Chain A
Amino acid sequence: DIQMTQSPSTLSASVGDRVTFTCRASQSISTWVAWYQQKPGKAPKLLIFKASTLESGVPSRFSGGGSGTHFTLTISSLQPDDVATYYCQQYNTVSPYTFGQGTKVEI
């Protein structure tokens, strides 16, 4: 199975900061990565697919990058509404569709 490892586990930053967190795959997965935002008590929300394609309606301060085994999610100017946990997911293989363990963003 492909493992997805996110870092850091928790990130504390200030409003307006540029923040970047990473996701590493245990083997190459091209650009088959999605990123999700999950707020407490809510379902996850799709932010980015195919590593760097912004989902419709998602603010442009979010961006994704990377390929192969190293992927990043960047928030260009952190906003209070961005407090959440962020998960990466690989969907390169048929089984299983593994998630990273999450990065919790605090202000």
Chain B
Amino acid sequence: EVQLVESGGGLVQPGGSLRLSCAASGFTFSDYWMHWVRQAPGKGLVWVSRIKSDGSSAIYADSVKGRFTISRDNAKNTLYLQMNSLRAEDTAVYYCARDHNGFVWGQGTLVTVSS
């Protein structure tokens, strides 16, 4: 069974940093592109970033470009999202997702940016 378990969320002050992790199991992690998607409270889904299976290429939404960095460790079956210069509008549940004919999702981790 495919499992994606996010961690690392929490409360952070504006301008601060946070690193999210997503532990994958039940499939060959290194075969798949992976994504981060976020959802602000009461709002819709917003795609954030994607990384190719071998980590060779990453792309970002304009809203996070230059502040967030996606990475992966295929030996540890883990996806990461380094978030710097956080803003109040980054407050959301962050989901990691496996890309293959649509997304398979983790349960999400809540990031709250507030002073």
Q: Are A89 and B105 also in contact (CB < 8 A) when A43-B95, A97-B47, A99-B44 are?
A: no
Q: Give CA–CA (A102, B104) in the complex, Å.
A: 18
A36 interface hit (Cβ, 8 Å): yes
Residue total for A at the interface (Cβ-Cβ under 8 A): 25
B61 interface hit (Cβ, 8 Å): yes
Residue total for B at the interface (Cβ-Cβ under 8 A): 19
Q: Which residues of B contact A102 (CB under 8 A)?
A: 44-45
Distance in Å from the Cβ of A49 to the closest Cβ of chain B? 4
A89 pairs with B44, CB closer than 8 A? no
B50 pairs with A97, CB closer than 8 A? yes
B102 pairs with A91, CB closer than 8 A? yes
B32 interface hit (Cβ, 8 Å): no
CB < 8 Å: which of B61, B103, B106 contacts A36? B103
A82 interface hit (Cβ, 8 Å): no
Question: Please, which residue of chain A has its CB at the minimum distance from the CB of B107?
Answer: A43
Q: Tell me which residues from 87 to 101 in chain A have a Cβ below 8 Å from any Cβ of chain B.
A: 87, 89, 91, 94-101
Given A43-B105, A44-B95, A46-B105; 9 other pairs, CB 8 A cutoff:
A34-B101, A42-B107, A43-B106, A55-B102, A87-B44, A89-B102, A89-B103, A91-B99, A102-B45
- Show 28 A/B contacts (Cβ-Cβ < 8 Å), sorted by A: A34-B102, A36-B102, A36-B103, A43-B108, A44-B45, A44-B95, A46-B102, A46-B103, A46-B105, A49-B102, A53-B101, A87-B45, A89-B102, A89-B103, A91-B99, A91-B102, A94-B59, A95-B50, A95-B59, A96-B47, A97-B35, A97-B47, A97-B50, A98-B47, A99-B46, A100-B44, A101-B44, A102-B44
Residues on A facing B (Cβ under 8 Å): 34, 36, 38, 42-46, 48-50, 53, 55, 87, 89, 91, 94-102
